């Protein structure tokens, strides 16, 4: 599974009409999109997805934000997908993100930072399975 990662175009970026621009980053960096869908998470779903952060002070704010509007969830494939995607998105805090990264270009705050990326192969696998059934992942096309 080391060639897979999971991405979210977060509600701020969808609202601000950056979905197409972010898709261009995905495609120009040669990620293959195995699956993508537009969803609106419930608060409970957001809490489940970010369970790893449930003890953090920003958990309530984060899960409210993530369930506040539409977002696009994606399963992406590329060699070293996890680290490659994290390079494309940039640092968590947009003010610390490198020039040209998605968060530098399209995010305005630490909380509302345009995109998600998995932090390990193990979590990528879990996160893809959280949102996609096997039949939704187009593996051999």
Tell me, residue by residue from 27 to 56, as one string, x for binding to ligand UDP by CB under 6 A and - for no binding: --------------------------x---
Say if CB 126 and CB 139 are below 8 A apart.
Answer: no
Instruction: At 76, give phi and psi (nearest 5°).
Output: -120, 145
Say if CB 66 and CB 86 are below 8 A apart.
Answer: no
Active site residue 53: no
CA 105 to chain centre: 15
| Among 77, 78, 103, 116, the one annotated catalytic | 116
CA-nearest of 58, 40, 76 to 88 is 76
Contact flag: residue 119 with Mg ion (CB under 5 A):
yes
Q: Of 21, 32, 111, 123, which lies in the binding site for ligand UDP, with binding defined by CB under 6 A?
A: 111
**Which segment (11-19, 31-39, 76-84, 108-116) binds ligand UDP by CB under 6 A?**
108-116
d(CA 70, CA 125): 23
Interacting residues toward ligand UDP by CB under 6 A: 53, 58, 62, 92, 110-111, 113, 116, 119
Which residues belong to the active site?
116
């Amino acid at each position: 599974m080391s060639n897979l990662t999971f991405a979210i175009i977060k509600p701020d970026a969808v609202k601000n009409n950056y979905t197409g621009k972010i898709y261009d980053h995905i495609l120009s960096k040669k990620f293959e999109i195995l699956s993508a869908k537009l969803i609106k998470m419930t608060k409970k779903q957001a809490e489940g997805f970010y369970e790893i952060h449930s003890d953090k002070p920003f958990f309530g704010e984060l899960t409210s934000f993530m369930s506040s509007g539409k977002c696009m969830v994606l399963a992406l494939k590329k060699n070293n997908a996890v680290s490659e995607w994290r390079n494309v998105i940039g640092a968590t805090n947009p003010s610390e993100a490198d020039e040209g990264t998605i968060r530098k270009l399209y995010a305005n705050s630490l909380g509302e930072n345009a995109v998600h990326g998995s932090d390990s192969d193990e979590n990528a696998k879990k996160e893809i399975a959280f949102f996609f059934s096997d039949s939704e992942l187009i593996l051999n096309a």
